[in-house]
Structure 1
């Protein structure tokens, strides 16, 4: 089972595909395997690394606090340990915050950067969302917490069209063999709350793609637009009618757009 020792912890990852390395960083509370529906497309062209961030999956779950800077150092430790000179880097939600710090800390290691449903600093609304989720995880049954999370990340239209899927996810939460410990979920929430790259992102030179749903009620569209204003070289893709889970709501479109961006920035060309 693949682990690396990095930044004082054991970090778990899986590797798939061939080609230039692509590091995939997932969001709050989720293991790297949640990239599955994207990785099966990317792996045809790239050597993909799906990482369990600290606190999630099979990686170590130390007591907090966590920060996105520390989690970026976890990621960079893996890159160095595996002898990867420069990588394509894509992050969803919390993963995108970690990816920002990677690009700032080691620009020579980042060939391209994809930031999905991202933010550069929490406003009062988004801070309230993270605090609500942290408190809910500590106090609610797993299925009740899933209902709370679903209310934030999926649009009303998705709820109406896919109620059976959401109910199945709530039932599955009750039987999860090794749920994420509450202390680790809280520590990841704290990393999200304290994330702040505002005023620093103009220094990122790597080609960058920003994706977001215009109905995102978790990290709303203006947060990505603020990043775009600071990174005028970045490409911005807004998924109309989609929410925080635009990468699933519009799976084929998302995979097509992000893969096209990645292929366009391979060192070896398309």
Structure 2
């Protein structure tokens, strides 16, 4: 399995597909494999590059705190190792904060941005929520912690759908036997990066095509956060799914995959 040295850590990544390079950055607690349902489609159109963030999966998990700037530099090192000058970037939740910093700190490496359920800064509620996530991780069994995260990110429409409800239960059962569980200090490092991220004053420097996308029923990163990010990046487009939450990309995967693929394909070469 491919691992490279980047920014002082051993960084795990995978590649699938061919075409223009597409870097995928996942959110807090999640390894890169969570992109699989999207990469199953996108690999037919793009060279998908999927990393495990610092603190999770098969990448090193040093003691924190981490920062979104530091994690962006992790990915800059990955791109350097792969000899890639400019890539499309899709970042989900915490991954969107990393993608913002990648575009700010390494603008020549970014061709376009898709920022999913993003935030430019945390208000006091968001900071409290991330602190509670750390507390829950410290006290819950893995399947209990998984349930808490599911309650945060999936909308009522998913909980009311029997098929999706069964999928959520299966996901919790898988988390109970995860061969690469995230240690508490890895989650704490990532949560610190989420809390401290504040790029609002620098988003105006981003001059890359940008799509901001979210769900109107997102209780984790509410709509005002997506609207603030889209309003701060010149020319950014904003799309919000009706009746879907933070996990809109799982709740309506077919539409999301096509929507993002078509948008990326429309970016000028």
Q: Which deviations, in whole Å up to 9, do the C-alpha atoms of 1:6-54 show, x marking residues without a partner? A: 1000100000111111100001111111101111111111111001011
Match of 1:89 in 2: 89
* Structure 2 residue 269 is matched with structure 1 residue 254: no
* Structure 2 residue 228 is matched with structure 1 residue 226: yes
**Cα separation, 2, equivalents of 1:8 and 1:32:** 20
Maintained 8 Å contact 2:58/2:180: no
**Cα separation, 2, equivalents of 1:258 and 1:59:** 27
**Other structure's SS at 1:223 match:** helix
Aligned CA RMSD, in angstroms, stands at: 1.0
Maintained 8 Å contact 2:206/2:234: no
TM-score, structure 2 as length reference: 0.97
List gaps (5 residues or longer) in structure 1: none
**Cα separation, 1, equivalents of 2:128 and 2:44:** 40
**Cα separation, 2, equivalents of 1:132 and 1:49:** 31
Match of 1:29 in 2: 29
Match of 2:107 in 1: 107
Maintained 8 Å contact 1:142/1:173: yes
Match of 1:118 in 2: 118
1:178 to partner: Cα distance? 2.6
Larger deviation, residues 195-204 vs 151-160: 151-160
1:177 to partner: Cα distance? 2.3
Match of 1:54 in 2: 54
1:173 to partner: Cα distance? 2.0
**Cα separation, 2, equivalents of 1:90 and 1:40:** 15
**Cα separation, 1, equivalents of 2:49 and 2:179:** 24
**Other structure's SS at 1:164 match:** helix
**Other structure's SS at 1:237 match:** strand
Q: Which deviations, in whole Å up to 9, do the C-alpha atoms of 1:98-147 show, x marking residues without a partner? A: 00000001111111111000000001121121111111001111111112
Larger deviation, residues 13-22 vs 166-175: 166-175
Report matched runs for 1:131-146 at 5 Å: 131-146=131-146
Cα 1:112–1:213 change in 2 (3 A) is same
Match of 1:206 in 2: 208
Maintained 8 Å contact 2:22/2:88: yes
**Cα separation, 2, equivalents of 1:175 and 1:229:** 42
1:169 to partner: Cα distance? 1.8
Moved beyond 4 Å, runs of 4+: none
Maintained 8 Å contact 1:212/1:221: yes
List gaps (5 residues or longer) in structure 2: none
**Other structure's SS at 1:199 match:** helix
**Cα separation, 1, equivalents of 2:111 and 2:36:** 22
Q: Which deviations, in whole Å up to 9, do the C-alpha atoms of 1:200-233 show, x marking residues without a partner? A: 1011001000000000000001001011111240
1:88 to partner: Cα distance? 0.5
1:266 to partner: Cα distance? 5.0
